[in-house]
């Protein structure tokens, strides 16, 4: 009986070690910086990491299926500029050049931006599923195309003067905690995390992606349509990136083709640190959320301690490498 309890305790620690690391980091930062545990700083971390978090709960599906997606950062930029161009204030938008053009509702602008970004996800999925191009190459190509289209669309100029309706999508204040404003962007991140978690554990799609990541040939034998599910994976990832693009434009109050650089790397890092295996078939939504928070605390903590931005990148790189090495060693023990 005691042996069983010990085994369960070890299993629990193995499954939730990432949360132990998170708690340790939070405790350490609260000692090193007295402002870390203030409500204003915690809300700031959650707000800042919400967009990266939405991208992470999308890209984790690609990693789970033993793939990768390098296009989310570029899709953030492209979606943001498309949405912004259609959601400028009436006197600044397309109506200035075309007086007879009706005012475009904010909802239509958002849907247009989401459609453009999600379309790239469908393209990624089709390329990877049917041409057998490595996911790294396929998504690197679409990343370059999306970034170039965003710059061509705007001629590399920002798109300001957005309607308040679009800004409210990210800036709307829900309530305050000790003077810190909790905005709707945090709630949207929580909703996307819950949706991804539900799909991962409660749907046939989630089980199919687990199987594909574990062994795609065995998944075929089991009757799973691998190609169809791969398309769904990359479409969902692109949709998450598109939502991130809309939220970033709404939060900043302008569309900009230069934003989103390295966002995909931050999302991949968060999913990797959270235990999503690059060998495929291993992922827990709770781990990914912990990974998002760990990367957020790391960035915020180093800023509070006034550590050089260049050294911050070094620290992030070391953590990512350590997470992958740990994952490989863990998988080697299982095999």
- Averaged in consecutive runs of 10 residues, what is the pLDDT profile of the chain (335 residues)? 57 75 92 92 95 97 97 97 89 53 86 97 98 96 97 93 94 90 95 97 96 95 97 98 98 95 93 92 94 94 90 85 77 59
Q: How far is CA 100 from CA 37, 89, 95, 97, in A?
A: 54, 15, 7, 9
Query: Crossing angle for the helix pair 263-273 and 72-86, nearest 10 degrees?
Result: 130
pTM greater than 0.85 (yes/no): yes
* d(C-alpha 20, C-alpha 60), whole Å: 21
Backbone torsions φ then ψ of 162, nearest 5 degrees: -85, 155
* d(C-alpha 240, C-alpha 195), whole Å: 11
Backbone torsions φ then ψ of 53, nearest 5 degrees: -65, -40
**What's residue 94's pLDDT?**
56
* d(C-alpha 125, C-alpha 231), whole Å: 4
Q: Cα 46–76–120 angle (5° rounding)?
A: 135
**What's residue 255's pLDDT?**
94
């Amino acid at each position: 009986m005691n042996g069983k309890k010990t085994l369960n305790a070890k299993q629990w620690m193995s499954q939730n070690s990432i949360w132990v690391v998170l708690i340790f980091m939070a405790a350490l930062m609260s000692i090193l910086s007295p402002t870390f545990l203030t409500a204003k700083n915690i809300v700031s971390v959650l707000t800042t990491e919400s967009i990266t978090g939405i991208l992470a709960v999308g890209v984790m599906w690609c990693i789970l299926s033993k793939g990768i997606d390098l296009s989310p950062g570029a899709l953030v930029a492209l979606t943001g500029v498309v949405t912004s161009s259609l959601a400028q204030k009436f006197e600044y938008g397309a109506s200035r050049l075309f007086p007879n053009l009706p005012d475009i509702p904010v909802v239509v602008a958002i849907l247009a931006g989401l459609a453009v970004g999600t379309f790239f996800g469908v393209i990624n999925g089709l390329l990877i599923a049917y041409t057998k191009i490595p996911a790294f190459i396929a998504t690197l190509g679409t990343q370059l195309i999306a970034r170039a289209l965003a710059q061509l669309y705007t001629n590399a100029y920002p798109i300001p003067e957005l309607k308040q309706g679009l800004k409210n999508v990210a800036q709307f204040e829900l309530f305050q905690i000790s003077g810190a404003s909790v905005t709707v962007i945090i709630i949207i991140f929580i909703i996307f995390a819950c949706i991804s978690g539900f799909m991962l554990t409660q749907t046939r799609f989630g089980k199919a992606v687990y199987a594909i990541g574990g062994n795609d040939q065995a998944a075929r034998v089991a009757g799973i349509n691998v190609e169809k599910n791969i398309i769904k994976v990359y479409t969902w990832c692109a949709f998450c990136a598109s939502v991130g693009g809309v939220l970033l434009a709404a939060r900043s109050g302008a569309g900009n083709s230069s934003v989103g650089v390295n966002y995909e790397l931050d999302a991949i890092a968060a999913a990797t640190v959270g235990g999503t295996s690059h060998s495929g078939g291993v992922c827990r939504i709770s781990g990914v959320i912990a990974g998002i928070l760990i990367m957020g605390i790391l960035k915020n903590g180093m800023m509070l301690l006034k550590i050089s931005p260049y050294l911050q990148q070094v620290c992030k790189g070391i953590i990512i490498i350590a997470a992958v090495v740990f994952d490989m060693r863990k998988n080697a023990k299982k095999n």
